């Protein structure tokens, strides 16, 4: 009989020591790189308010449970502890996958390399094993019904504890009762909707009857969608230089021409939509982070100034005999620490007024500059955050700074056309309810030429999805929400010809 049970004993003991190894390894990984672990918890949308306590409690609990698991007298207690910890970890992952934006994994070691779905499967596997071992060791002393009652009770406690943390944690503040929006009922109407193959598309440009899309994973593809006839074409771009170390290619269209560029090389190609062939426009003229088409001979861009290491605005312009490169590294508002994201934002070109506009992400303002990048004036949005509220973590291991969930993003995406500046914000003003944000986005409209707030409206879309970006051309507003392209018409009652033309 003993010989018959011996393999079973070996198998169960192996699983038990696997539990011990898992928790000892996980705890050691966290403690050996404690700075990274604590920072990742601080950037978690669930645990940021309790990061300091949890950063110590989790590895200490893991070590304590591992000790219980190898102690014969308290072995079963250790199994119950292992089970509830795995339930809490799994509940955390489920909430991350379904109710929050991406957050860095705080497991440490090899486990940190797993994706969230793989983590979920991994944890569920160990939960099943722990239930089996609890049942095996407890059935000698406790009735089966009581064992499962204990397991159900521990499950409720573990899940409930994480949900309470989720609901009470100091998440990003979205409400600001200091301003009131003026909402216009239904100032836009949907005229077309297209299901895209993936969410890797971005808006490359718009003209009278077409929307042009680029694809992050197919950098030489320009998809053109004729929203008047519903015809869709995939156009392959050919360039005259393929042997460059491309890393982050992005295409922009301004009919009849398009630009293809990569600021990490740095290189720009210019092509014609008639044949989708592009030739070299510039190379090694200066690195850039983002760029856009200003006209057929020039582009605007953002970069890091080599002089003061700050975010700067620039122009590349090609003439028949010369190449002009201009840089403005003084207009944008920075903090004393150049790594703190204070100046981050979106750079735009308004063709009607021949002006540049820069909207800050983390403050209630925007910059207006002339066509030569000379600062003209600063505009204000209706929000009241003039000094950025940022949650910044420094990672010693990689010498990098990262933003956490408690950073308040005042202005998200923005677009301009005619006299108007359109800004997407998810900050809630007085009397606004947050439920609307699950199926609509708030767009605030400004007459930037007069520095006036005009009104706001809702851009409705499929539930629980994010607005990637949007652009405005004449009386059209085009947006990408997850893997859908939405085309709206701006009603002339509110968007008059005086404002748009």
Residue 266 and residue 145 share a domain:
no
**Does residue 183 lie in a domain region?**
no
pLDDT in tens, 370-379: 999 999 999 9
Out of 168, 201, 233, a domain closes at: 168
Out of 136, 168, 200, a domain closes at: 168
Over residues 273-285, mean pLDDT:
93
Q: By 3-state DSSP, what share of the chain in percent is helix, strand and coil, each rounded to 5? A: 30, 35, 35
459 Cβ contact list (under 8 Å, min separation 6)? 188, 424, 440, 441, 442, 443, 467, 470, 477, 479, 486, 488
Report CA torsion sign: 488, 494, 496, 501. negative
Half-sphere exposure of 330 (CA within 13 A, CB side): 5
Domain of 453? 188-500
Q: What gap in Å lies between CA 354 and CA 315, rounded to an integer?
A: 13
Task: Please tell me whether the overall predicted TM-score, pTM, comes out greater than 0.85 for this model.
Answer: no
Q: What gap in Å lies between CA 20 and CA 25, rounded to an integer?
A: 8
In 135-161, which positions are buried (b, 16+ CB within 10 angstroms) versus exposed (e)? Answer: eebbeeebeeeebeeebeebbeebbee
**What pLDDT, on the 0 to 100 scale, is given for residue 44?**
66
**Does residue 453 lie in a domain region?**
yes
We report the CATH number of the domain holding residue 410 as 2.120.10.30
pLDDT in tens, 337-362: 555 688 999 999 999 999 999 999 99
Peptide bond into 256 cis (omega under 30): yes
**Does residue 339 lie in a domain region?**
yes
Residue 109 has pLDDT above 60, yes or no: no
pLDDT in tens, 13-31: 888 889 999 999 989 988 8
Residue 169 has pLDDT above 90, yes or no: no
**What pLDDT, on the 0 to 100 scale, is given for residue 106?**
60
**What pLDDT, on the 0 to 100 scale, is given for residue 148?**
83
Residue 234 and residue 156 share a domain:
no
**What pLDDT, on the 0 to 100 scale, is given for residue 178?**
65
- DSSP state letters, 287-324: --SEEEEEETTEEEEEEE-TTT--EEEEEEEE-SS-EE
More confident residue, 443 or 182: 443
pLDDT level of residue 278 (50, 70, 90 thresholds): very high
Residue 130 and residue 33 share a domain:
yes
**What pLDDT, on the 0 to 100 scale, is given for residue 290?**
95
Residue 161 and residue 270 share a domain:
no
Over residues 35-42, mean pLDDT:
72
Out of 172-176, 311-315, 347-351, 366-370, least confident range: 172-176
Residue 87 and residue 195 share a domain:
no
Residue 164 and residue 192 share a domain:
no
More confident residue, 397 or 256: 256
pLDDT level of residue 176 (50, 70, 90 thresholds): low
**What pLDDT, on the 0 to 100 scale, is given for residue 39?**
65
**Does residue 138 lie in a domain region?**
yes
Over residues 51-75, mean pLDDT:
89
**What pLDDT, on the 0 to 100 scale, is given for residue 328?**
95
Residue 414 has pLDDT above 80, yes or no: yes
In percent, the amount of the chain with pLDDT more than 70 equals 90
**Does residue 181 lie in a domain region?**
no
Residue 448 and residue 321 share a domain:
yes
pLDDT level of residue 3 (50, 70, 90 thresholds): very low
More confident residue, 183 or 260: 260
**What pLDDT, on the 0 to 100 scale, is given for residue 203?**
97
Residue 198 and residue 158 share a domain:
no
Out of 104, 138, 168, a domain closes at: 168
**What pLDDT, on the 0 to 100 scale, is given for residue 381?**
95
pLDDT level of residue 136 (50, 70, 90 thresholds): confident
**What pLDDT, on the 0 to 100 scale, is given for residue 409?**
92
pLDDT level of residue 206 (50, 70, 90 thresholds): very high
Tokens 């014609």 belong to residue? 272
Tokens representing 139 are 């059935």
Number of domains comprising the chain: 2
pLDDT level of residue 99 (50, 70, 90 thresholds): low
**What pLDDT, on the 0 to 100 scale, is given for residue 425?**
94
Residue 315 and residue 271 share a domain:
yes
Burial label for 481, CB within 10 Å (0-12, 13-18, 19+), is: buried
pLDDT level of residue 446 (50, 70, 90 thresholds): very high
Out of 319-333, 390-404, 435-449, least confident range: 390-404
**Does residue 180 lie in a domain region?**
no
**Does residue 173 lie in a domain region?**
no
Out of 5-14, 122-131, 167-176, least confident range: 167-176
Residue 172 has pLDDT above 50, yes or no: no
Q: Where are the beta strands (DSSP E) in 426-474?
A: 440-447, 452-460, 467-473
The Cα angle at residue 237 between residues 234 and 242, in degrees rounded to 5: 140
In degrees and rounded to multiples of 5, residue 353 shows phi and psi of -95, 0
Residue 308 and residue 161 share a domain:
no
More confident residue, 169 or 485: 485
**What pLDDT, on the 0 to 100 scale, is given for residue 115?**
73
**Does residue 451 lie in a domain region?**
yes
pLDDT level of residue 171 (50, 70, 90 thresholds): very low
Residue 407 and residue 373 share a domain:
yes
Residue 422 and residue 275 share a domain:
yes
Tokens representing 410 are 């005042």
């Amino acid at each position: 009989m003993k010989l018959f049970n011996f393999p079973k004993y070996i198998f169960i003991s192996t699983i038990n020591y696997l539990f011990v190894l898992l928790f000892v390894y996980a705890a050691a990984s966290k403690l050996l790189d404690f700075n990274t672990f604590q920072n990742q918890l601080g950037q978690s949308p669930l645990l940021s308010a309790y990061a300091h306590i949890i950063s110590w409690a989790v590895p200490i609990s893991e070590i304590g449970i591992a000790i219980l698991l190898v102690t014969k007298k308290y072995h079963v207690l250790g199994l119950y502890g292992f089970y509830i910890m795995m339930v809490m970890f799994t509940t955390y992952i489920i909430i991350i996958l379904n109710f929050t934006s991406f957050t860095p994994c705080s497991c440490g070691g090899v486990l940190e390399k797993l994706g969230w779905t793989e983590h979920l499967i991994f944890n569920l596997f160990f939960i099943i094993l722990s239930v089996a071992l609890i049942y095996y060791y407890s059935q000698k002393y406790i009735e089966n019904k009581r064992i499962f009652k204990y397991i159900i009770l521990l499950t409720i406690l573990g899940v409930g504890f994480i949900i309470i943390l989720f609901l009470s944690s100091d998440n990003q503040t979205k409400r600001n009762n200091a301003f009131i929006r003026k909402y216009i009922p239904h100032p836009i109407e949907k005229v077309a909707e297209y299901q895209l193959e993936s969410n890797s598309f971005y808006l490359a440009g718009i003209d009278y009857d077409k929307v042009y899309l680029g694809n992050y994973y197919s950098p030489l593809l320009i998809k053109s969608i004729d929203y008047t006839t519903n015809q869709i074409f995939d156009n392959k771009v050919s360039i005259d230089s393929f042997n460059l170390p491309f890393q982050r290619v992005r295409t922009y269209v301004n009919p009849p021409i398009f630009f293809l560029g990569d600021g990490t090389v740095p290189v720009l190609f210019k092509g014609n939509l008639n044949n989708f062939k592009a030739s070299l426009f510039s190379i090694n003229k200066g690195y850039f982070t983002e760029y856009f088409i200003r006209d057929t001979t020039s582009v605007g861009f953002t970069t890091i100034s080599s002089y003061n290491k700050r975010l700067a605005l620039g122009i590349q312009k090609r003439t028949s005999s010369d190449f002009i490169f201009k840089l403005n590294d003084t207009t944008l508002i920075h903090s004393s620490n150049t790594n703190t994201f204070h100046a981050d934002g979106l750079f735009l070109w308004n063709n009607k007024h021949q002006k540049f506009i820069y909207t800050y992400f983390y403050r209630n303002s925007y910059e207006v500059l002339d066509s030569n990048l000379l600062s003209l004036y600063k505009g204000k949005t209706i929000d009241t955050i003039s000094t950025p509220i940022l949650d910044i973590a420094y990672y010693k291991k990689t010498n990098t700074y990262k933003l956490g969930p408690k950073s308040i993003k005042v202005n998200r995406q923005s677009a301009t056309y005619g006299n108007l500046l359109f800004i997407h914000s998810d900050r809630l003003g007085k009397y606004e309810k947050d439920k609307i944000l699950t199926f609509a986005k708030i767009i605030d409209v400004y007459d930037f030429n007069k520095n006036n707030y005009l009104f706001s409206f809702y851009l409705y879309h499929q539930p629980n999805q994010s607005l990637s970006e949007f652009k405005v051309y004449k009386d059209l507003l085009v947006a990408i929400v997850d893997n859908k392209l939405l085309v709206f018409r701006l009603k002339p009652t509110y968007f008059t010809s005086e404002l748009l033309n």
